[in-house]
Amino acid sequence: MTQAKVHPVDEATEHADEPFIRARHVTAGYENRRDHTRLIALRDVSLDVGRGEFLAIVGPSGCGKTTFINMIAGFVQPLEGEITVGGEPVSGPGMDRAMVFQDYALLPWRTVQRNIRFAMENRRTKPSKDEQDERIRKAIELVGLTGFEKSYPHELSGGMRQRVGIARALVTEPSVLLMDEPFGAVDAMTREAMQAELEKIIAQTRQTVVFITHSIDEAVTLGDRVVVVSSRPGRIKEIVPIDLPRPRMDSDIRGSQQFAELREHIWSLLQGEALGAKREQS
Ligand SMILES: Nc1ncnc2c1ncn2[C@@H]1O[C@H](COP(=O)(O)OP(=O)(O)OP(=O)(O)O)[C@@H](O)[C@H]1O
């Protein structure tokens, strides 16, 4: 893999006060046409994400995390409020935003190279064939899959498949990377390796990242800030700044007192939510 220039934390957060993604009083939900009811997934969420910031989101199952990033992606429209990216209201999907899914969402009949090319096909404005080839080569190099261009997904491990998913997201050179529990399906060791690689990749590409995870460790390891969402209908419970130096995969940082305190604090916020949800059900 190409050696990454790893940036210190103050560089990563220097733009955090210059909002790039803005959610203003966003409420989202889903209509049930059969019984004419409406489920509110998220209520009155306002949040700014700085350009180049890595924002991690944690919260109990069903609190609306996926709904939130689907709104940034333009797949779901808010019932109330507005989301803007780079000052423009989000009205649908666009090349400036790319999603990485937990289940990789690769096309099994296509090679690695052709899965990545897929992101640039069927677009109104797309790069020339030569430019596409060059971008695919670079993306494959960035995620460390050089030599596997002609492999099919079934010939790859889970971690390698997700690297293809990441390369496919990077190849359109989006300004925003949306990641929905991207390492949830890989084993614990691969997960740690992928976290380290993602940290290096983002240090090079400098995208703004919104990253959903169920792992507090992962959120503290990767995030410039961690948003803790309450149980459904999701609201922002607390935004925790993570002022740890990078790279965070360093064992001195992950084993530090400060890391442990942040983990403990987020855990206590989430524990309250899990217990709250139980009380509501009984
Ligand atoms: N397409 C849909 N139609 C109807 N209801 C939906 C739809 N998508 C999500 N929901 C509901 O909206 C709520 C929020 O779902 P969402 O997937 O956003 O939560 P989440 O926090 O990402 O959950 P998890 O952590 O389990 O992935 C849930 O109650 C879910 O059942």
Q: 150-199: per-residue pLDDT in tens? A: 999 999 999 999 999 999 999 989 999 999 999 988 888 888 988 998 99
ipTM over 0.85: yes
* Atom number in ligand 1 closest to CA 212: 22
- Minimum CA distance residue for ligand 1 atom 6: 30
Q: Please tell me the residue having the least CA distance from ligand 1 atom 2.
A: 30
The pLDDT score that the predictor gives to residue 121 is: 86
Q: Is 70 a pocket residue for ligand 1 (Cβ < 6 Å)?
A: no
DSSP assignment of the chain equals: -PPPPPPPHHHHTTTTTSEEEEEEEEEEEEEETTTTEEEEEEEEEEEEEETT-EEEEE--TTSSHHHHHHHHHTSS--SEEEEEETTEEP-S--TTEEEE-TT----TTS-HHHHHHHTTTT-SS---HHHHHHHHHHHHHHTT-TT-TT--GGGS-HHHHHHHHHHHHHTT--SEEEEESTTTTS-HHHHHHHHHHHHHHHHHH--EEEEE-S-HHHHHHH-SEEEEEPSSSB-EEEEEE----S-TTSHHHHTSHHHHHHHHHHHHHHHHHHHHHHHHH-
Per-residue pLDDT, 125: 78
Q: Is the CB–ligand 1 distance for residue 43 below 6 Å?
A: no
Shortest-distance atom of ligand 1 to CA 29: 12
- Does residue 239 or residue 104 have the better pLDDT? 239
Question: Which atom of ligand 1 approaches the CA of 181 most closely?
Answer: 27
Nearest CA to ligand 1 atom 18: 64
Q: Is ligand 1 within 6 A of the CB of residue 65?
A: yes
Residue 275 pLDDT: 59
Is the beta carbon of 248 within 6 A of some atom in ligand 1?
no
- Residue-wise pLDDT for 39-72, tens only, equals 999 999 999 999 999 999 999 999 999 999 999 9
Measured from the Cα of 64, ligand 1's closest atom is: 18
